Amino acid sequence: MRVIVDQRMEEFQRIEKLLYGINYEVWFNLYGPGDCDLSLEDSLRKMISRDCKVSGIVASSPKEARNEIIEMILYEGSTGSGPIELESKKPEIRSLMESVLTKINFDSAEMITEFGFYEGHPSYPVFWDFAFDIHSQGNRWILVGSSSD
């Protein structure tokens, strides 16, 4: 028997449980710290998968990226494809995500770019997904989130 231990951040694991819905599931991960001197694709190949190829790289700011992340994770969906009882869980979800962003010094990031996975996405996005390359205090962080059915 092989035991698999989820070593992702506790905040992500809690958010995923809070956002559970019938035929709706979310997934998050934070990769890093990584080398800021590597290209984005080389970093993804080193941290996530050798198959990673990117598309649609767009510069962002902490404010724009945060707004997009929060908008996606608070996706209400429709009956049967969205989180159960989301309204009552929003404050805790926001607090947990803010905790993650604080840990990587998100607000003082020197560079944030949003990108898409052309190949090698680490999850299975259906309703929404995001991927951000964050350079903060000499470290590179790759923040990825998605939802599926």
Whether the CB-CB separation of 29 and 131 falls below 8 Å is answered with: no
Q: How many residues does the chain have?
A: 149
**Pairwise CA distance, residues 130 & 64, whole Å:** 12
* pLDDT tens for each residue of the chain, 149 residues long: 565 667 889 999 999 999 999 889 999 999 999 999 999 999 999 999 999 999 999 999 999 999 999 999 999 987 778 899 999 999 999 999 999 999 999 999 999 999 999 998 999 888 999 999 999 999 999 999 999 98
Whether the CB-CB separation of 84 and 22 falls below 8 Å is answered with: yes
Domains of the chain in sequence order = 10-148 (3.40.1000)
Whether the CB-CB separation of 139 and 32 falls below 8 Å is answered with: yes
